[in-house]
A = this chain, B = another copy of it.
Amino acid sequence: MNHLNSMEPGPRPVTPPGPDVSRRSGRAHKAILAATRELVAEVGYQRLTIEGIASAAGVGKQTIYRWWRSKAAILFDAVLDANSQEDGSVELPNTGDVEADLRLVLRESVAAMVDPDNDRLQRAITAEIQTDLAVAGELVRRLLRPQLDATQARIAAGIRDGQVDGSVDPGMVAELLFGPVFHRWLLRTGDLDDAFADGVLDLVLTGIRPR
């Protein structure tokens, strides 16, 4: 199980997701995250309350406070839990065609943002981290950085292949790809779809092709 409850130190000095902790709380833990996801999707983040989660999960409030520091931390774990791969690491496909691989990952991002349940969950956590720096850092470290790094790695590979100009900064390119998509999604400045993702990608590719 890769659930990483990184927001909470737990009653013991260090509380990795050790077996004895999980043993006890397993049922409650799952129920809480599931209830959180359902409630966010159902009533929205603004109306999400700890008491609501507790009662929907059939759990005492204290059980929530025992394991999470804040609503943001629960939300974060709920997002992580939903997005969880086995180890949190992300790797882009490398088909040998940079354009195709980037197109795929960008479209996947769009699809994730467009899915209604995910949309609410992501917006909730995005709003929350404006206030909660600890969760913000964790989110970047655990979800955003891996994605950006993987993209960056794929572009670096493209440079080695000769599909991308050697003078470009792969990290910058990654942000150039995801930034506009995120911007459009979060601020709703326009329709977010594959066409937009493709448009971004095409423009960026034009700028980074070997000269």
Contact = CB atoms under 8 A, between A and B. Distances in A.
Contacts of A145: 189
Contact of A176 (B137, B139, B169, B203): B203
Interface in A159-179: 168-169, 172-173, 175-176, 178-179
B184 A179 contact: yes
A178 B186 CA distance: 13
Contacts of A204: 176, 203, 207
Contacts of A206: 207-208
Nearest to A204: B207
- Dominant secondary structure of chain A at its interface with chain B: helix
A199 interface: yes
Contacts of A190: 175
A203 B173 contact: yes
A180 B186 contact: no
A103 to B, nearest CB: 16
Contact of A188 (B127, B136, B200, B205): B136
Given A126-B130, A130-B126, A199-B169, A180 B176 contact: yes
Contact of A186 (B173, B175, B186): B186
Interface of A: 44-46, 123-124, 126-131, 136-137, 139-140, 144-145, 148, 168-169, 172-173, 175-176, 178-184, 186-190, 199-200, 203-208
